[in-house]
Structure formats: C-alpha cells, structure tokens
Homo-oligomer: A and B are copies of this chain.
Amino acid sequence: MSDAGAIEVFDNPHPDRDYIIEHVADEFTSVCPMTGHPDYASVVVRYVPEASCIELKSLKLYYQSFRNRGIFYEDATNEMLNHLVAACAPRWMEIETQWTGRGGIRSVITARHDS
C-alpha cells in the first residue's frame, strides 16, 4: 500500500509569502486492476505551501510505491491528493495525472484541494 507517512517535508523557508510550487514526474506507472496491464502517466502536483514543503526524494519513492498496485486512474489521482494534503497541509493544492493511451484513448484527471 502507498502511505502518506512516507512523504517527508521540510520547513517552508518563506511562509510569509504565497508562492506556487510545481513538481512534474514523467515516469509514474501503476497497474490496471481489470486487465493487469501496466498504466503509465505523468503526475503534476501544484501547491501553495503553508508551514511545510514536500521533499523531492521522498516524493519520488512515494510515486514508486504505486508501481505494482492495481488501481483506477480516478482513484489513484484522488488518493495521491489526499496523501499529499495530509503530508504537508498546503494552503492550496492541485494534482493532474496524464495517462498514456490504452485502446487508443488518452486520459487526464485533475483534482483540487482548498484549505
């Protein structure tokens, strides 16, 4: 199972200012729960930090925890948003997952959290 606790944070060095952080991971992969075939996606996270910023190496490892999990696009996107919000309690956060084609159809799922 993936786990919000695996996502490490560090102190926001400029909490007095609203500013936007975006991380783009082009090499996300999970498994389709119906067919067992791998799915591939780019995962984009954008957020305005409050007290904490997401540490990049732990984010990479968190994404890798999906490598052999069977999970739907819609579920993965919302679960990641919930985990990342739990880990860093941002002022605002948005996640966008861009899935490569399966059966000739490409998909993008976008979810948002407002504190």
Distance in angstroms from A78 CB to nearest chain B CB is: 4
Chain B residue with Cβ nearest A110: B20
Give the contacting residue for A13; candidates B14, B25, B67, B78; CB below 8 A: B78
- Map CB proximity to B onto A87-110 as digits: 1 under 8 Å, 0 otherwise: 000000000000011111111111
Give the contacting residue for A100; candidates B26, B74, B77; CB below 8 A: B26
Chain B residue with Cβ nearest A67: B38
Set of chain B residues within 8 Å of A77, measured between Cβ atoms:
19
Set of chain B residues within 8 Å of A12, measured between Cβ atoms:
74
Set of chain B residues within 8 Å of A72, measured between Cβ atoms:
10, 13
Set of chain B residues within 8 Å of A56, measured between Cβ atoms:
102-103, 105, 107
Give the complex CA separation of A27 and B111 in angstroms: 25
CB <8 Å contact, B26 and A104: yes
Of the A-B pairs whose beta carbons lie under 8 Å apart in the complex, a sample of 12, sorted by A's number, is: A12-B74, A20-B109, A21-B74, A21-B107, A22-B107, A26-B101, A27-B100, A27-B104, A49-B74, A53-B74, A56-B105, A56-B107
